[in-house]
Amino acid sequence: MRVGIVGLPQCGKTAVFNALTGAHGDMGVYHAAERLSLGVVSVPDDRLDALAQMLSPKETVAATIEFEDIGGVFSHLAGGERSGQAVAALRDCDAMAMVVRCFEAPSVFEILGEVDPLREYNALNQELLLADLEVIEKRLDAIERDVRKPVPERDALKQEQVVLEQCRLAVEQEEGLRAVQMTGPEQKMLRSYAFLTLKPRLCILNVGEGQVASPPVPDEFKGLDPPPVPMCAKLEMELMDLEEEDRAAFLADGGLMEMASGKVIRASYDVLGLRSFFTHVSDKLRAWTIQGGTDAKGAAGKIHTDMEKGFIRAEVVGFADLAEAGSIKEARARGKVRMEGKDYEVRDGDVITFHFSR
């Protein structure tokens, strides 16, 4: 699962990317548009930490999620153009983290002339809408040509035309495509277009160094779902270069509990509808990622296709039950460890031992 980091030039995308991944991407280079970077990060999870404490495994492996630094989305309001490469990269992402500049820094060029988070956010949204509109119009033109011909798929084309016209209307009214009511088959019909305004999204407010202790959240951002995450990307990026101890000391000094990067990673995971389950096998504790609604057999398949094919049953204990019992043995004594079949819908936080035939 990949999250694309987008925003107007100089809003701090690369700083956010570096803060999230610990990478050292080039910064501040105006028009360094086409340099795309990918990074895999561990998803922080208190439950995994607690399980590691309880089980003392030799090795603990967290769930991961991928971030991509996507440069090149300019605002036509500032006389710039979107790069096709940026849009294509974003279409390949499963969700997006939209970065909005809130920090004042006279040395950093301001694309819209001044620091104005709401205007910047709206300008970015407009670019996403326009990118979708281009696809919609191109496709509608092609359909209009084809429906006049006696092609066998005429009925399907007409159906698509109806949906796309609704989409065009929504975009023209500056609403994202999520505002369009679509049936399952209609959603499927449009899936290959990978519309940007259909993607789950998270907003990051890139605040200044002096604002981290109590970051200002403009009123207009307060209603966003999920709530926007304030973050001082530059500071957090610099903190990534410190040893963990020094970092913790720095945070404590500033009266901060945790870095915002952890929240961003966690929120990205959630906005994608992802869940974690845990396994403890051969002294290795591991978190695995599944989509909500995955059954036990499908979850086994995340680990190995052989486990899915040979699935017999799953021994399951919920994290909360296990934490309360304090050990697997005690959880079992309390009857909290259940046997589940292949259709069991795995819950977030389940600790699972799979039984399968080889």
What is the binding site for Mg ion (CB under 5 A)? 13-14, 71
Q: Which segment (10-18, 123-131, 242-250, 332-340) binds ligand GDP by CB under 6 A? A: 10-18
Q: Which is nearer to ligand GDP, 11 or 322 (CB)?
A: 11
Task: Give the one entry of Mg ion, ligand GDP, none that residue 194 binds, where binding means its C-beta sits below a cut-off of 5 to 8 angstroms depending on kind.
Answer: none
Does position 208 bind ligand GDP by CB under 6 A?
Answer: yes
Q: Which is nearer to ligand GDP, 39 or 310 (CB)?
A: 39
Task: Give the one entry of ligand GDP, Mg ion, none that residue 251 binds, where binding means its C-beta sits below a cut-off of 5 to 8 angstroms depending on kind.
Answer: none
Q: Which segment (227-235, 248-256, 287-295, 300-308) binds ligand GDP by CB under 6 A? A: 227-235
Shortest Å, Cβ 113 to ligand GDP: 16
Shortest Å, Cβ 99 to ligand GDP: 6
3-state secondary structure the chain: CEEEEECCCCCCHHHHHHHHHCCCCCCCCCCCCCCCEEEEEECCCHHHHHHHHHHCCCEEECCEEEEEECCCCCCHHHCCCCCHHHHHHHHCCCEEEEEEECCCCCCCCCCCCCCCHHHHHHHHHHHHHHHHHHHHHHHHHHHHHHHCCCCCCHHHHHHHHHHHHHHHHHHHCCCCHHHCCCCHHHHHHHHHHCCHHHCCEEEEEECCHHHCCCCCCCHHHHCCCCCCEEECHHHHHHHCCCCHHHHHHHHHHCCCCCCHHHHHHHHHHHHCCEEEEEEEECCEEEEEEEECCCEHHHHHHHHCHHHHHCEEEEEEEEHHHHHHHCCHHHHHHCCCCEEECCCCECCCCEEEEEEECC
Does position 9 bind ligand GDP by CB under 6 A?
Answer: yes
Does position 197 bind ligand GDP by CB under 6 A?
Answer: no
Q: Which segment (2-10, 121-129, 150-158, 304-312) binds ligand GDP by CB under 6 A? A: 2-10
Does position 27 bind ligand GDP by CB under 6 A?
Answer: yes
Q: Which segment (103-111, 139-147, 273-281, 302-310) binds ligand GDP by CB under 6 A? A: 103-111
Does position 67 bind ligand GDP by CB under 6 A?
Answer: no
Q: Which is nearer to ligand GDP, 1 or 36 (CB)?
A: 36
- The footprint of ligand GDP (CB under 6 A) covers 7, 9-15, 27-28, 103, 105, 108, 206, 208-209, 232-234
